[in-house]
Chains A and B, each alone.
Chain A
Amino acid sequence: MNTRFSNKIDVIDNSNMNQHVDDDDDDDDVTTSLDPLVDEVSMLQLGDSFFPTGMYTTSSGLETLFYDKRIKTKQEIIEFITVCLQYQIGPADCAALSNAYDFAKEENISKIIEIDHILFSMKLIKEIREASIRSGRQFLNCLLSFVPDNTLISLYYNSIKNKAANGIYPVALALASNSLNIKKERACLILLYGFTVSITGAALRLGMIQHIEGQQIIHELKPIMTTVLNNNIKRHFSHLWQFSPSIDLVQMKHERMDSKMFIT
């Protein structure tokens, strides 16, 4: 594994730390549709890059690494995404999603908004912070066109409108998944998979890899995604974290680039 972004990239097993208040097995209390396959299709729908979230416009700093010739190979792209998943997206976005999902089941809007603010404040890079709320808000806009009567989503949407919440993407995804009976762990997978695909897509459009290599990358990252999921799905919202200073610096540099294809 690449040591330029992190001292230790082996998958950290801290799944027993900081356990979430809701230790229930998700399968026990999730509501399902009369036809459970409909719920599975809903998962495919939200996880599909065809769902309009604008995430294809971001590279999480990969573009800078490409122009600086610090990443060249397929393996290095895998390592970059792995570090992002383990040290940024997993313990912050994924864990926030998990908590927001549980509070959605309790219809606790104030806690959902609290998580929204915590995660927003943790995103150090302005362009990434703004991209996440732009994605989250447009995600909700689209969702409300076919799930118009969900009280909680309407409450959250109105809170965003009234500037009481930010509309950060993982929280929007949590509420959407809950409303469509998508299980929590699968909602987390949508997030992790979506992030992986957006960076892999960026690598493809930068000409770093070919289309088949893109699928190889996603395949190789499957066990990383599931491990990151297991390590963070029970993390309490008071213990969200992210720590990837090298990548933060790369992303800051990207944010200031004059000529670039991607939002950071």
Chain B
Amino acid sequence: MTFKRIPRVGIGGPVGSGKTMLIEQFVPLLSQIGYRIAIISNDVVSKEDADRMRRNLASERGLMPESLVIGLATGGCPHTAVREDPSMNLSVVEDIESAHNQELDLIIIESGGDNITTTFSPALADYFIYIIDVAGGDKYPRKRGLGIENCDLLVINKIDLAPHVGADLKIMERDATLIRKNKPFVFVNCKTGEGIKEVADNIVKNVLFELPPKTTTTKN
């Protein structure tokens, strides 16, 4: 139903590219600033990602209530659930918006692992991050695909693996620049946190428009 829209970031990418770990890395940086966040995790088969984030971010670190990490089954159709028919995701988003409109700053929607054609419906996500990993080979950016080309921020993960899989980061940088026509991309290592601040900064600048956290505003 209609409530004031809370900004939403969609995160898509192939299975194993590091979507969940990316969230686990940048959420603490945003929480440090004071932003309050909810996560919807679209699982293809299991609830493992949602359970892991709930444990790591909510139960152990107390960065959000456990109830604000929500797993959603997608009937084996991960891209449909965020693009053609995002009904179930929208419904969960609306529930969150109606219950937490006053204090929540951001909703993160993690797509189930899928292929390079994944995009998010603009009705569902305001900002779309697509993540690929170096282990897939340095050809990845130039293979194009809607996700790689059209996302607001392309994240290239696992840069530490480049020498082990014969991937040349310079080739990836050149192709990403060319394919994305000056739209941003960032190299990261989700294991060490390298490059993650740049991802968080992008979200603060382009999604949250550098506004202060709602709870801060309320206090003032």
Query: Does the CB pair B76–A261 fall under 8 Å?
Result: yes
Q: Which residues of A contact B44 (CB under 8 A)?
A: 261
Given the known inter-chain contacts A202-B75, A262-B75, please indicate yes or no for A137 contacting B85, CB distance below 8 A: no
Contact with B46, one of A59, A201, A258, A263 (Cβ below 8 angstroms) = A258
Q: Which residues of A contact B171 (CB under 8 A)?
A: none
- Interface: B90 (CB within 8 A): yes
Q: How many residues of B contact A (CB 8 A)?
A: 24
Query: Does the CB pair B77–A205 fall under 8 Å?
Result: yes
- Interface: B5 (CB within 8 A): no
CA distance A137 to B84 in the complex (A): 17
- Interface: A134 (CB within 8 A): yes
Query: Does the CB pair B85–A161 fall under 8 Å?
Result: no
Query: Does the CB pair B1–A161 fall under 8 Å?
Result: yes
Q: Which residues of B contact A50 (CB under 8 A)?
A: 84-85
Q: Which residues of A contact B77 (CB under 8 A)?
A: 56-57, 205
Contact with B47, one of A58, A139, A258 (Cβ below 8 angstroms) = A258
Query: Does the CB pair A137–B75 fall under 8 Å?
Result: no
CA distance A259 to B44 in the complex (A): 9
CB-CB nearest 4 A-B residue pairs: A54-B87, A138-B87, A134-B91, A57-B75
Interface CB pairs A-B, < 8 A, 12? A50-B84, A50-B85, A53-B85, A56-B80, A56-B85, A59-B75, A139-B87, A161-B1, A261-B73, A261-B74, A262-B76, A263-B88
What 19 new A-B contacts, CB under 8 Å, besides A54-B81, A57-B81? A54-B86, A56-B77, A56-B80, A58-B75, A134-B88, A138-B88, A138-B91, A160-B1, A161-B2, A201-B75, A202-B76, A205-B77, A206-B76, A260-B45, A262-B73, A262-B76, A263-B72, A263-B75, A263-B88
- Which positions in B face A, CB cutoff 8 Å? 1-2, 44-48, 72-77, 80-81, 84-88, 90-92, 94
